[in-house]
């Protein structure tokens, strides 16, 4: 069963009433997919635009490598490893993930030394199982110890339907993820490691004289990452992200498709829905003045107000009536008023229903008036 425009549990703003009240566009409402589980997220507002079985626990296959790379990014950030540092290719890595294994491989030579930079590309672009074992052993000493790091990070990110046993995603009863967790993981990578995220958009990588291309079918259609995965048990999966011409980004995960072609077709359809089926509505820009509220006992009778950040909605394209706003002071505002003080609330309504409330803050200072001016104001207020 699918639900459109459902809000992610991690959201702090009360958008649910808004999106449940929308008249969904026909194209979005009619969207169907053969994928086993799906989550489509608007990146900037953290709004779930479409979902299907979002919390089903499924085998992740190579989508596990997103968590493997996140651990590498974390270790680089804290200075525990360097990009030019090299790790040895053990016999375990060579036999389990190398050419003889029959799976995705970077074709690492036994007992060679490989830089972290090359290993990252081998994982992100070539999906090398051998490369994941090399980084696991190089960072944590062993695959089980590295899996413990992966699970600690999963717990830290709130991935409640994921558990990792290995860094590559080869079949194991204990290895599982959900589409919602995969989107949370991808979103964290994009937000936290913008310096490494372009790695996922590279279409090919040559190592040891062998050139391999990324399996992401959307890179040629405007997507800029992230990762595909496949095993017989998991089917064909994908985690991807893309932006439109306005810079609005979507992130989505799909699992359980039956072929490469089905994955490509379903992913294109979902990306089209996410980028073209919805639009942003900006209520108030960052640092834009929303209006004024009255001030008593001050050298000025009012103060301009603004929000802490941009106020925007994501809605199905072409749907529904416009939004209306009302500025409501937080009681009587008495001087002195310091810039940044919370002085009002913006109520945003649609079709007579309050769909969101946002705090507003003083955009400047209002000094306390002298005694004569305050008396005059009281007298004038009495006659008013």
Positions marked catalytic: 62, 65, 127
Q: Which residues pair with 334 in a beta bridge?
A: 296
Q: How many CB atoms lie within 10 A of CB 137?
A: 20
What does each C-alpha distance from 301 to 73, 153, 296, 334 come to in angstroms?
53, 52, 6, 10
**How far apart are alpha carbons 27 and 172 in whole angstroms?**
39
**The two three-digit tokens of residue 194, written as one number:** 């913008």
CB 275 within 8 A of CB 267: no
CA–CA dist 10, 241 (Å, integer): 19
User: 289, exposed or middle or buried, with CB in 10 Å at 0-12, 13-18, 19+?
Assistant: middle
E-strand spans in the chain?
2-4, 37-42, 47-52, 86-88, 113-115, 204-207, 210-213, 223-231, 235-243, 249-257, 278-284, 289-294, 302-306, 311-316, 324-329, 342-350, 353-362
The CA angle 64-66-69, to the nearest 5 degrees, is 115
CA distance 50 to 54: 9
Rounded Cα gap, residues 183 and 189, in angstroms: 10
Query: What are the angstrom distances between the C-alpha of 35 and each of 22, 30, 54, 120?
Result: 26, 15, 11, 29
């Amino acid at each position: 069963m699918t639900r459109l425009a459902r809000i992610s549990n991690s959201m702090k703003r009360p958008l649910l009433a808004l999106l449940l009240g929308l008249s969904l566009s026909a194209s979005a409402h009619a969207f169907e997919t053969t994928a086993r589980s799906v989550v489509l997220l608007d990146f900037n507002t953290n709004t779930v635009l479409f979902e299907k079985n979002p919390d089903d626990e499924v085998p992740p296959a190579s989508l596990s490598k997103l968590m493997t790379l996140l651990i590498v990014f974390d270790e680089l950030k804290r200075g525990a490893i360097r990009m030019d540092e090299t790790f040895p290719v053990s016999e375990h890595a060579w036999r389990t993930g190398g050419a003889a294994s029959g799976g995705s491989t970077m074709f690492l030579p036994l007992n060679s030394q490989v830089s972290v930079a090359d290993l990252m590309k081998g994982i992100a672009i070539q999906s090398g199982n051998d490369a994941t074992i090399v980084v696991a052993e190089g960072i944590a000493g062993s695959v089980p110890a590295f899996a413990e790091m992966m699970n600690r990070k999963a717990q830290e990110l709130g991935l409640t339907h994921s558990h990792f046993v290995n860094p590559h995603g080869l079949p194991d009863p204990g290895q599982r993820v959900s589409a919602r967790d995969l989107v949370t993981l991808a979103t964290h990578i994009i937000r936290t490691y913008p310096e490494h995220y372009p790695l996922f958009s590279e279409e090919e990588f040559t190592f040891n004289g062998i050139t391999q291309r990324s399996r992401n079918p959307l890179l040629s259609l405007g997507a800029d990452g992230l990762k595909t995965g496949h095993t017989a048990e998991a089917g064909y999966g994908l985690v991807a992200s893309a932006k439109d011409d306005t810079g609005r980004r979507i992130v989505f995960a799909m699992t359980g498709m039956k072929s490469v072609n089905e994955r490509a077709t379903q992913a294109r359809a979902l990306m089209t829905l996410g980028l073209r089926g919805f639009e942003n509505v900006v209520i108030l820009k960052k640092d834009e003045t929303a209006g004024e509220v009255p001030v008593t006992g001050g050298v000025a009778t009012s103060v301009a107000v603004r929000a802490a950040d941009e106020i925007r909605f994501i809605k199905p394209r072409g749907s529904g009536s416009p939004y209306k706003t009302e500025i409501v002071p937080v009681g009587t505002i008495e001087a002195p008023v310091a810039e940044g003080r919370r002085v009002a609330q913006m109520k945003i309504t649609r079709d007579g229903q309050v769909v969101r409330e946002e705090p507003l803050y003083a955009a400047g200072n209002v000094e306390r008036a002298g005694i004569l001016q305050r008396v005059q104001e009281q007298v004038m207020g009495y006659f008013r």
